[in-house]
Structure 1
Amino acid sequence: MAMLNIVQEIAIYIDRFHNLDLFQQGWYQMKITMRWEDSEYVSVGTPARIVQYEASDIGSSSIYGAWRIDDIDNSFSTRPFQIKYARQDIHLCTMITFRFLLDRFEGLPTTAVIMKFELMYAPTVQNGSNLQAFLDASSCAIHEFRLPPKSLSGLHSYCPVYFDALHYVLVDITVHVSILRATSYHSALKVPSNFGINEAVVDQGYGMLNRELDDVVDVKDVIRTKALLTAHDILLEELLKLSKAIDLTIDISELVSKGNNVEFLNYVPRASQVASNVEVSVQGKPQNGLEGLNGALDFQNVEKLHSFSKSEMLDCFNSLGDQMLYLWNNFLKFHRDNKTKVLDFLRDAWAEDRKAEWSIWMLHSKVEMPHHYIKCESHGSSTKPKHRRVSSSLKVSDEPPQTAATRAELHRRSITQMRINNRSIQDMQVFGDPSRMPIVVVERVMNAPRRTISDNSYMKHIELMESHSLQTQFNSATVDNQLMSKVDAFTLKIVVFVHGFQGHHLDLQLVRNQWLLIDPNIEFLMSEANEDKTSGDLREMGQRLAQEVISFLKRRMDKASRSGHLGDIRISFVGHSIGNLIIRTTIADSIMEPYLGYLHTYVSLSGPHLGYLYNSSSTFNSGLWLLKRLTDIRCIHQLTFTDDPDIQKTFLYNLCKLKTLYHFKHIILVSSPQDGYVPYHSARIESCQAAVHDTSKRGRVFLEMLNNLLDQIRANSSQHRVFMRCDVNFDTAAFGKNFDSFIGRAAHVEFLESDIYARFIMWSFPQFFR
């Protein structure tokens, strides 16, 4: 039986509970449990110590009662807090540590740990005790994370908790992991709840261990000593990294005295060197070459551990254990004194890692914007008509939607064979079943120079609109605003979300929430101007939205001007389905002209920019035909170019002539080949084979529209515009076999009911959303 035991310690710091989108007011509470991932063992992590940091909310009516440890399920629950309104902050500022005995492993853990965060809810009691009400609290949402075995040797990471779409919050949490020495051997898998780390307790087990020594060193003792050495190396390196990042010194000057076994320090000379070097650190700037530290271990010398007697091995283990306890306690003190700076650093590091972390589900490519005018096959050729079959000669497998879906499916199959074995915390909402996540194909379109003015250019009659200064909107001194320092300038960032046909103003709330997570300083407008009014004329919808946007913008500008200097304005739009045509109609409205120079990012989710010409879905086409025959929905006629006998007088044809996309700095078109409600080429603003082969007037009109839109997207030589097409391929197995899947509606609605694809896109390109 091995006598040198180690424990796994996992510290969770709960900083802030931010209510993004909780639908119910009431009392909430966070409950945390930990367990090994494998089902063979039922042992769980035991709460070991709790530290309540100073918090501004202590004593506030928003927080009630005290935190609680349940010895039955070994859970920790925060203090109950009351949620009264959206975007409310509750500062919990609590550090809880959990501990696992590692006697089931020979050395380092080989099984992952599952962290379970549970949101508890109880309604507010009007005439009664809030405490009694919360005793009846029930679980309303769960968010789990996986700590892979590689992370259990040592980790310091930000870990945002979101729960789910119906309980959208952000809990700022950091996780800190290390391996420590156990005070004595315990045959049970459970550590008592009052078990804590302090030197007096650590020293209690020495006498008993010394009495049981013999001359033979257990192999497990060597392995566990090496495990402790590995954790020592990682912890020291992470302390150094944090110290440098926030430019503050971590005082570990007593580390040498903790390594009280001279023979041990001779065998691991670099450990003592590290200790003496850090002793003279200056404001987080390490000296004597610590930047190049790869570890405190000399593994060739460590192998000499096998030649130790049990007494020598015990001295080495205890000496190293003292150092680890000293470093760990020093870190916890450092964290408490600098919790905000540590949190900010780890959150920034987490955000930087998202693109690499989620690249598993993303494919990237670059294509050139066409330099030339896209034309049909008969353009410029003999006027003699060509008798050829258009659609029947095209194989289904040659269609771009099918090609895109096939490419994504092949990548999905490769993910099922992939072994994801990294050191980062894994969000189980994403990593729970990696093969079920959407595949996002990102096509970065490299802008070509604008085409020269010619007979083929449909932009030649459109004059470039000069951006108008909004400073005239203010009554305050214009000169003072122009001379103000950039430090004092405030940027007003407004994002407008526009629903689609027969939609609701909250349809895009999941995308909005993701945007808020990236930039909590945005002001957002969930458009209601056209709710229950999407069966009419798109012109009227655009006018209503324009008036709503202008009114919202002026209110926010007045508020910003009263509170400080308004340095810049950024106006972004997000639309779903025909909401994108409403947005483009709004941009073309004359009352928006003074604000065009401030347009920033445009995100189109499955928008029919080129209408419903050449829609390949016969089922949907039949539905449209029936809808037009039985009802008088004006926008359906506009989408299908039947609002005027002359196709060149139709609404959508003339909308494409207006510069509705020209002023946006970033244009992101999100489409799906599985979407049967919007033609694939229309959502992506690209040509299709049917249009190129069509020699009729309809084919020429379609290509005119396409070229007009591409001309708007092409950047001037003085501009830098980002144009991306993001192809989202959902897991169709999750849709099931139903009528919505059959007609292609399921994928169209999935843009509203899922936010995973939005996470992948927005966190991979956060610069477009800040």
Structure 2
Amino acid sequence: MFRRLRWFVGLNQKNCSTKRLVNGDQAGPDQLPVLDAVHEVAIYIHRFHNLDLFEQGWYKIKVTMRREEGEDSYPGIPARVVQYEVPEAGSDNFGRVWMIDDTDNSFSTPPFQIRYARQDVFLSIMISFYLSFGECKGQSSAVILKFELMRAPMTETGSELQGSLDAHTASVHEYKIPPKALLGLHSYCPVYFDAFHAVLIDTSVHISLLKANYRPFPQKVSSDSKDSEGTYVEDYVGSNKVMLIKALMAAHVILLEDLRRISTGINQAIDLTDFTCESDVTKWFNSTPPADVERNNGEPTLQLSNVNAEQKATHYINYLTEASFQPFSWDDHLLNYFQSLGNQLLGLWNIFLKFHRENKTKILEFLCKSWAIDRRTDWSIWMVYSKVAMPHQYMSNRVEGTSLHHGVHGSSLNTRRLTDDPIQTATMRAERHRRGIAQMRINNQSLQDMYIFGDPLLNPIIIVEHLTNVYHSTSVNSNFVYLEDEVRHILENGSRATNKLCGSSPQQNGHVLKVVVFVHGFQGNHLDLRLVRNQWLLIDPDVQFLMSEVNEDKTSGDFRQMGLRLAEEAISFLKKKMDKASRRRNIRDIKLSFVGHSIGNLIIRTALAESIMEPYLRYLHTYVSISGPHLGYMYSSNSLFNSGLWLLKKFKGTQCIHQLTFTDDPDLENTFIYNLSKEKTLENFRNVILLSSPQDGYVPYHSARIETCPAASLDFSKRGKIFLEMLNNCLDQFRTCSDHRVIMRCDINFNTSSYSRNLNTLIGRTAHIEFLESDIFAKFIMWSFPELFR
């Protein structure tokens, strides 16, 4: 199925109305060639991937475009549609009808059926929109690209399906196209809706500025636009026209450069022979203006001797901008430049469209990789990077300085006195950064996801601390100099390192089986961590995941029993995946990762301490701890929450709460968490990421970060000694075996301005649950460090 619509946009001089001329239409005698242009925004919709839709049904994607000034101002006009591939004959997954609605200038894909999770629907369709450049003066404003997810029940068919889909918008996702990007852009554009409509639409956006062929002769002419004989005159050398020439020149350079970049990136040659000789657009300005323009009523002449072509173009444009001369004195001269430049651009654009159709998948993959790299830069606005020396040993006398926060080969490290309030310090640091964002003008040339850039102050601030082992590593400077501008270098080094820990020698050929186990917290549900899971799947679609269900409705019991159940569940799942994978191909390596929320982290560590897990410890890859009470509640400062814990122990007899608060045994050395710290449950992980939040009152801040706290540093009793032993036991596991391990603490500071004052906020539960209900912190971290999750 193939159809093209060719619409030339013309603008009425007063109301900016549009007129469409289809193929074969010719300009009438009342139409004149003009200096005008349009932005063509081509959106390629490749694939609809269902990650986690909760409802089956008929779905389709609706696309609209508008200027940022208002909802109805200067809409983008659908210009042409190209269906790259025809759905298989007889397929009942497609309605096989795409639609353009002239009432709201929207485009809708063919409807398709979604029946199961992780289902792919390949749409392979290109839709182009036209945006006016001329008298509407919209070129200085951004453009909003809107995607709507439309849904109808599965029972709807035929004509009823179309009406039902139009009436039901399930979710919306918007992107902003900055003004600079309207001159030229080729970018991957992932459309990911909300938590209840977790789908990924693989799209790419391609933009160029092109000349418009015709427009109607103005119906109304002001008196200032007439010459002495009453004939209408248009000032071709006005400031708007000079700006248009500049814009076309920039668009030509961008498009030619992007064509070469994409061609090289996908290793596919593209024929630009006809454009190479004229690739320097400044050559059109090599000649001087006509003699009657060089001097006009004493105006300074344009001197173009002894300058190169680029300087000639710059001087020429500046001369047109600043000099004053009679209208129509050399209109044909400028018009010829416009036509020549416009023809070059149109030729290059048509070459790109043909090249894209022949290499659509390769181009999408190339742009996707470039997008992933650029996200580290864009999202670093909300991330603060630092490195911290891992203390060699916290001593029982708590002398301040025995923590050994020393520099590494002359580099400075972040330090914090043990008596400082870490929660207050972290909060103030995040607020200072948030105030800096409030004064920042975010104006780049990349597509801006409005879910993130809509209100930058609502996003969490993430402070990333990389723990460096100054006593074990002999190559700290080369591998773990963890400064903000060296993040990419570190991750690239890590990706080239061996895939396993000490003594491993994986085969060169074969499949890598990647399994991630997600474990919920107290009274949780196996789907609690679905948002983190979805982000992991976006980074690595080949990963196999287990959403642990074995401890649902059983989290009030003994951690030992919960850990054993998890170990058995994980082993059973892993064996099934290993058996399935081995029947199809050789397994070169296994990467076993864990993600836990709240007490789910203690369940994970307990499971890893089980003897049945020992054969699988060598496969451990990445561990993500989300607000996990690794050091228990020995020094919890939240009095309201402590009262709740006391009630649970008193009236519910909750065994895990006794273990968390060290009341499961009179002797602290016999308590569960103290003895768990002696187990080597963390040292086999290649990457350990500890997520915490100073706003989370459910889990002690120091316990989630596995670090000391002021209360412990001032406690000289046996209780303080036991705490420091636990802390040292845990930290010792971060210093073993490999120089290439990554140990990070990520401090998540949520925006609390939208929190209402209620009991959940007072006791800190809101931030604790925010980890489960928001995926933006996971996006920032996981896409900034994708190598840790592959």
Q: TM-score normalised to the size of structure 1? A: 0.84
Which amino acid is the alignment partner of residue 14 of structure 1?
I
Residue number among 255, 264, 268 corresponding to 1:244 in the alignment: 264
Which amino acid is the alignment partner of residue 259 of structure 2?
L
Query: Shift of the alpha carbon at 1:719?
Result: 4.4
Q: Distance in 2 between matches of 1:332 and 1:541?
A: 57
Q: Distance in 1 between matches of 2:354 and 2:539?
A: 30
Matched, 1:86 2:117: yes
What are the superposed Cα offsets for residues 372-395 of structure 1, whole Å, 9 maximum, x if unpaired?
A: 3432448999xxxxxxxxxxxxx9
Structure 1 residues 237 and 685: CA distance shift in structure 2, 3 A: same
Structure 1 residues 361 and 638: CA distance shift in structure 2, 3 A: same
Structure 1 residues 258 and 46: CA distance shift in structure 2, 3 A: farther
Q: Distance in 1 between matches of 2:611 and 2:62?
A: 54
Counterparts in 2 of 1:305-704, with a 5 A limit? 309-377=330-398, 398-449=420-471, 486-487=508-509, 489-704=510-725
Which amino acid is the alignment partner of residue 773 of structure 2?
E
What are the superposed Cα offsets for residues 579-628 of structure 1, whole Å, 9 maximum, x if unpaired?
A: 00000000000000000000000000000000001111111111111221
Q: Distance in 2 between matches of 1:96 and 1:187?
A: 29
SS at 1:668 equivalent? strand
Which amino acid is the alignment partner of residue 98 of structure 2?
W
Kept in 1: contact 2:419–2:710 (CA 8 A): no
Residue number among 232, 237, 241 corresponding to 1:217 in the alignment: 237
Query: Shift of the alpha carbon at 1:220?
Result: 2.1
Counterparts in 2 of 1:251-266, with a 5 A limit? 251-255=271-275, 264=284, 266=286
Which amino acid is the alignment partner of residue 533 of structure 1?
K
Residue number among 25, 30, 44 corresponding to 2:75 in the alignment: 44
Structure 2 partner of 1:288: none
Structure 2 partner of 1:458: none
Structure 2 partner of 1:272: none
Kept in 2: contact 1:260–1:319 (CA 8 A): no
Query: Shift of the alpha carbon at 1:217?
Result: 3.1
Matched, 1:172 2:202: yes
Stretch deviating more after TM superposition (237-246 or 656-665): 237-246
For structure 1, the 5+ residue unaligned runs are 189-210, 269-293, 382-394, 452-465, 471-481
For structure 2, the 5+ residue unaligned runs are 1-12, 14-32, 219-230, 289-308, 324-328, 403-416, 474-499
Structure 2 partner of 1:734: 754
Q: Distance in 1 between matches of 2:152 and 2:744?
A: 45
What are the superposed Cα offsets for residues 111-168 of structure 1, whole Å, 9 maximum, x if unpaired?
A: 000000000000111xx63442342121000000000111111100001000111000
Which amino acid is the alignment partner of residue 70 of structure 1?
D
Query: Shift of the alpha carbon at 1:4?
Result: 1.1
Kept in 2: contact 1:441–1:726 (CA 8 A): yes
Counterparts in 2 of 1:742-761, with a 5 A limit? 742-761=762-781
Structure 1 residues 600 and 729: CA distance shift in structure 2, 3 A: same
Kept in 1: contact 2:237–2:320 (CA 8 A): no
Query: Shift of the alpha carbon at 1:413?
Result: 1.2
Q: Distance in 2 between matches of 1:148 and 1:262?
A: 26
Which amino acid is the alignment partner of residue 166 of structure 1?
F
Structure 1 residues 55 and 586: CA distance shift in structure 2, 3 A: farther
Kept in 2: contact 1:668–1:726 (CA 8 A): yes
Which amino acid is the alignment partner of residue 766 of structure 1?
P
Structure 1 residues 468 and 248: CA distance shift in structure 2, 3 A: closer
Structure 2 partner of 1:140: 170
Kept in 1: contact 2:190–2:202 (CA 8 A): yes
Matched, 1:68 2:99: yes
Query: Shift of the alpha carbon at 1:231?
Result: 0.9
Residue number among 59, 62, 71 corresponding to 1:31 in the alignment: 62
Q: Distance in 1 between matches of 2:368 and 2:312?
A: 30
What are the superposed Cα offsets for residues 672-709 of structure 1, whole Å, 9 maximum, x if unpaired?
A: 00000000000000001111110111110011100000
Q: Distance in 2 between matches of 1:295 and 1:766?
A: 42
Structure 2 partner of 1:206: none
SS at 2:139 equivalent? coil
Matched, 1:722 2:742: yes
What are the superposed Cα offsets for residues 183-224 of structure 1, whole Å, 9 maximum, x if unpaired?
A: 123599xxxxxxxxxxxxxxxxxxxxxx97678733322221
Structure 2 partner of 1:15: 46
Which amino acid is the alignment partner of residue 197 of structure 2?
H
Q: Distance in 2 between matches of 1:23 and 1:181?
A: 46
Structure 1 residues 591 and 313: CA distance shift in structure 2, 3 A: same
Structure 1 partner of 2:314: 299
Q: Give the number of aligned pairs.
A: 680
Which amino acid is the alignment partner of residue 599 of structure 1?
L
Which amino acid is the alignment partner of residue 114 of structure 1?
I
Query: Shift of the alpha carbon at 1:562?
Result: 0.2
SS at 2:340 equivalent? helix
Stretch deviating more after TM superposition (731-740 or 74-83): 731-740
SS at 2:395 equivalent? coil
SS at 2:273 equivalent? coil
SS at 1:732 equivalent? coil
Structure 1 partner of 2:4: none
Q: Distance in 1 between matches of 2:104 and 2:419?
A: 55
Which amino acid is the alignment partner of residue 299 of structure 1?
T
What are the superposed Cα offsets for residues 614-671 of structure 1, whole Å, 9 maximum, x if unpaired?
A: 1111111111112211111000000000011111111111011110101000000000
Residue number among 142, 146, 155 corresponding to 2:185 in the alignment: 155
Structure 1 residues 262 and 296: CA distance shift in structure 2, 3 A: closer
Q: Distance in 2 between matches of 1:552 and 1:695?
A: 46
SS at 2:527 equivalent? coil
Structure 2 partner of 1:198: none
Kept in 2: contact 1:35–1:113 (CA 8 A): yes
Residue number among 91, 110, 113 corresponding to 2:143 in the alignment: 113
Query: Shift of the alpha carbon at 1:60?
Result: 2.3
Q: Distance in 1 between matches of 2:394 and 2:747?
A: 25
Q: TM-score normalised to the size of structure 2? A: 0.82
Residue number among 77, 84, 100 corresponding to 2:131 in the alignment: 100
Structure 1 residues 258 and 187: CA distance shift in structure 2, 3 A: farther
Q: Distance in 2 between matches of 1:146 and 1:67?
A: 24
Query: Shift of the alpha carbon at 1:449?
Result: 3.6
SS at 1:17 equivalent? strand
**Cα RMSD between the aligned structures?**
3.0
Kept in 2: contact 1:124–1:130 (CA 8 A): no
Q: Distance in 1 between matches of 2:629 and 2:506?
A: 44
Query: Shift of the alpha carbon at 1:55?
Result: 5.1
Which amino acid is the alignment partner of residue 49 of structure 1?
R
How high is the sequence identity, in percent, across the aligned residues? 57
Q: Distance in 1 between matches of 2:151 and 2:466?
A: 44
